[in-house]
Amino acid sequence: MTTAVASHPLRDSTTMVRRNLKRMVRYPSMTVQLIAMPVLLLLLFVYVFGGTLGAGIGGPSGGRAEYVNYVVPAILIITIATIVQGTAVSVAMDMTEGIIARFRTMNIARVSVLTGHVVGSVIQAFLSVAVVVGVALAIGFRPQAGFGDWLALVGLVAAVSFALVWLTVAIGQSSQTVEGASSLPMPLMFLPFLGSGFVPTDTMPEGVRWFAEHQPFTPIMESIRALLMDTPVGNDVWIALAWCAGIALVGYVWAKKLYNRKV
Amino acid sequence: MTNNAAPPVIVVSELRKSFGDKVVLDGIDLNVPQGTIFSLLGANGAGKTTAVKILSTLIAASGGRAEVAGHDVASDPDSVRAAIGVTGQFSAVDNLLTGEENLRLMADLNHLSKKDGKRAATDLLERFDLTEAARKPASTYSGGMRRRLDLAMTLVGSPRVIFLDEPTTGLDPRSRREMWQIVRELTAGGVTIFLTTQYLDEADELADRIAVLEGGRLVAEGTADELKRRIPGGHVRLQFTEPSEFRTAQRVLGRAAHSDGDALALRVPNDGSLRSLKALLDQLDHESIEVDGLSVHTPDLDDVFLALTGDSDNKKVTNR
């Protein structure tokens, strides 16, 4: 186990991040597609369902205008979920190409191939979140967040995307095909629906409601909503961060194990 | 084993690998001296790629020992990785990046300074005739260009041992020759090359020593000449159109000539030298025998390969 050769984890990771960013620039249609999805959902929910759902939620003004403010946190989670689905696909693509075999035979920090994907995707996630927030503002989203709230939001978005990216880096490696990698993270897209993302949980039947209140995305979306609307955050943010830490840890350990496996 | 003065760079003993019940390598021993080209020859599925994967630290062996550049592949893989370069069967280039970016990526991963990395990339592009395509994405490259880029990427780190796993499979004849030329040039600098191939002419052309892998075992090892000497020598094949001419020739040439299949053709043992060819032609001329066609066959590794691997099949049959 003794090794005389130097290890450069930081430099190797930076190199790999640069590689992944370059790949995103070279293959822009993928990023565009990944950003288009949540934007379309936002427009759908605000302009098609928003009138009715907004009326159901109530609130001072009610209707569509109210619903934009309600639904944005869910759309942000879907934005991140879409991006990490792309991560799974690009990791799977990488694994099927010979270049990963080359990396494995080189004396580079092993984890750097994975951290390259992780950091690249987190950057991509921030980019899409910014676009989605921009569109939301354009169609009437009116957040009440102060400077501190925005900082906290950035931190929370970073934590959520970091956690989900590690999970999908593992999923991308575990699936044998690129097609498999694109469908396996699908549940992440649906979880916001089975939570407090689109309608409050208290209108749901008991079993669904129990699930909705205890699944990880609900505290995350509640925290984002509270920060955006400048309402009390309560315990949700700690529960949210705990979920993120747990998911990140599981994803990291799983991803690393898959990457280091020797048949 | 070898009386070569150069120290061994790859030492393998009793190497085994099985995937579940399937035994892929059944105890192989190898010894490759520094600065030589060693070729592992075998048909598809003989276990060549598995051997390369173990020696290049991609997968773990099931048994036995392997040392590359003085380091054990199992206990000190990082030191092995620092000394080797691998160009596999499937191209290991990043298709979305340009040729130059691929090389710069390798330079960064080999921890070269920015200046050295740039120089290495420029030099290699020049040397592998890729300068013109340097700024195009690798996905647009032809098979030959892609393989050259692949090898150039392997060379960025100045490896002391290079594994080439079927480097010319799927290449057109011209690209193949170019590849051979590049491989030959590499050993001039003291680099050791471990080459696997299913093409006998490739092993014949490049390798200092050849080992024939069949069913997970080495069935023969030696220089190309040594291997060729193990099988019967060359012959001349004479083709006739007239049955009468064929019979006359058979009578004149006597016992040495055997008929070749059902065709009107004879195989006459001959070493292929001008002198012995002239003697044969004089003999035919003297009897005014009309020969329709003549071809000279020197033993090639094809004969060796078929003889050796056919042998092992027979053994399997008789063992049962």
Q: List the single range of B11-20, B48-57, B75-84, B200-209 with lowest mean pLDDT.
A: B200-209
The verdict on B113 and B258 lying in the same domain is no
pLDDT reported for residue A157: 95
The verdict on B197 and B288 lying in the same domain is no
The verdict on B192 and B123 lying in the same domain is yes
Residue B163, in any domain of the structure = yes
Residue B308, in any domain of the structure = no
User: What does the alpha-carbon distance between residue A248 and residue B274 come to, in Å, rounded to a whole number?
Assistant: 76
Phi-psi map region of B64: left, alpha, beta (phi>0 left; psi -120 to 50 alpha): left
Instruction: Give tens-digit pLDDT for B252-282.
Output: 887 667 776 667 888 887 777 788 888 888 8
B228: three-class secondary structure by DSSP: helix
Task: Note whether A1 contacts B: Cβ–Cβ < 8 A.
Answer: yes
Distances (CA, A) of A47 to A4, A64, A66, A137, A200: 63, 7, 12, 14, 19
How distant is the Cα of B86 from the closest Cα of chain A, in angstroms?
7
Burial profile B231-268: b = 16 or more Cβ within 10 angstroms, e = fewer: eeebbbbbebeeeebbebbbeebeeebeeeeeebbbbb
Is the ipTM here above 0.85?
Answer: no
Query: Quick one: tokens of B218?
Result: 């080495």
What's the mean pLDDT in A63-86? 91
HEC per residue, A66-113: HHHHHHHHHHHHHHHHHHHHHHHHHHHHHHHCHHHHHHHCCCCCCCHH
pLDDT reported for residue A110: 84
Instruction: Give tens-digit pLDDT for A80-131.
Output: 999 999 999 989 888 887 788 899 899 998 889 999 999 999 999 999 999 9
At residue B288's C-alpha, the angle toward residues B285 and B291, to 5°, is: 75
Query: Quick one: tokens of B215?
Result: 């069913």
At B272, which CATH number? 3.30.70
Compare A9 and B269 and report the one with higher pLDDT.
Answer: A9
Using a CB-CB cut-off of 8 Å, the residues of chain B touching A263 are: 19, 59-60
The verdict on B31 and B83 lying in the same domain is yes
Task: Note whether B159 contacts A: Cβ–Cβ < 8 A.
Answer: no
Residue B60, in any domain of the structure = yes
Determine the distance from the C-alpha atom of residue B157 to the mean position of all C-alpha atoms in its chain, rounded to a whole number: 24
Domain that holds residue B249: 235-297
How distant is the Cα of B246 from the closest Cα of chain A, in angstroms?
57
What's the mean pLDDT in A129-154? 93
Using a CB-CB cut-off of 8 Å, the residues of chain A touching B60 are: 262-263
Residue B320, in any domain of the structure = no
Q: Would you list the DSSP string of B60-76? A: --SEEEEEETTEETTT-
Question: Do residue A98 and residue B93 have CB atoms under 8 angstroms apart?
Answer: yes
Task: Note whether B280 contacts A: Cβ–Cβ < 8 A.
Answer: no
Q: Are A187 and A162 a contacting pair, CB within 8 Å?
A: no
The verdict on B15 and B77 lying in the same domain is yes
Using a CB-CB cut-off of 8 Å, the residues of chain A touching B93 are: 98-99
Task: Note whether B170 contacts A: Cβ–Cβ < 8 A.
Answer: no
At B225, which CATH number? 3.40.50.300
Using a CB-CB cut-off of 8 Å, the residues of chain B touching A1 are: 75-76
Closest chain A residue to the Cα of B72, Cα to Cα? A1
Picking from B213, B229, B245, the residue at the C-terminal end of a domain is B229
Tally Cβ neighbours within 10 Å of residue A177: 10
Residue B310, in any domain of the structure = no
The verdict on B27 and B154 lying in the same domain is yes
Question: Do residue B59 and residue A102 have CB atoms under 8 angstroms apart?
Answer: no
Of A176, B153, B17, nearest to B145 by C-alpha is: B153
The verdict on B27 and B119 lying in the same domain is yes
Does B315 score more than 50 pLDDT?
A: no
The domain tally of chain B equals 2
How distant is the Cα of A97 from the closest Cα of chain B, in angstroms?
7
Using a CB-CB cut-off of 8 Å, the residues of chain A touching B166 are: none
Q: List the single range of B45-54, B86-95, B152-161 with lowest mean pLDDT.
A: B86-95
HEC per residue, B197-210: ECCHHHHHHHCCEE
Interface mutation target, options B78, B91, B98, B112, chain A, most CBs of A under 10 Å: B78
Does B132 score more than 90 pLDDT?
A: yes
Interface A:B, Cβ pairs < 8 A: 81
> B98: which DSSP letter?
B
The verdict on B225 and B239 lying in the same domain is no
Picking from B207, B229, B251, the residue at the C-terminal end of a domain is B229
What's the mean pLDDT in A51-79? 84
Q: Nearest by CB to A108, which of B88, B93, B109? A: B109
Question: Do residue B108 and residue A15 have CB atoms under 8 angstroms apart?
Answer: yes
Question: Do residue B92 and residue A97 have CB atoms under 8 angstroms apart?
Answer: yes
Task: Note whether A105 contacts B: Cβ–Cβ < 8 A.
Answer: yes
The verdict on B200 and B224 lying in the same domain is yes
The verdict on B293 and B202 lying in the same domain is no
Query: Quick one: tokens of B107?
Result: 């330079």
pTM of the model: 0.79
Task: Give chain B's mean pLDDT.
Answer: 85
Picking from B186, B207, B229, the residue at the C-terminal end of a domain is B229
Query: Quick one: tokens of B138?
Result: 């690798």
The verdict on B26 and B124 lying in the same domain is yes
Question: Do residue A11 and residue B94 have CB atoms under 8 angstroms apart?
Answer: no
Chain A (4-43) residues lying within 8 Å, Cβ to Cβ, of chain B: 4-8, 11-12, 15, 18-19, 22-23, 26-27
Residue B150, in any domain of the structure = yes
The helix or strand, by DSSP H or E, that contains position B225, with its residue range, turns out to be helix B224-229
Residue B306, in any domain of the structure = no
The verdict on B223 and B252 lying in the same domain is no
Burial profile B10-32: b = 16 or more Cβ within 10 angstroms, e = fewer: bbbeebbbeeeeebbbbebebbb
Of B156, B38, B185, B37, nearest to B93 by C-alpha is: B156
How distant is the Cα of A10 from the closest Cα of chain B, in angstroms?
11
Residue B307, in any domain of the structure = no
pLDDT band (50, 70, 90) for residue B312? very low
Task: Note whether B209 contacts A: Cβ–Cβ < 8 A.
Answer: no
Closest chain A residue to the Cα of B158, Cα to Cα? A106
Instruction: Give tens-digit pLDDT for B282-304.
Output: 888 888 888 888 888 777 666 66
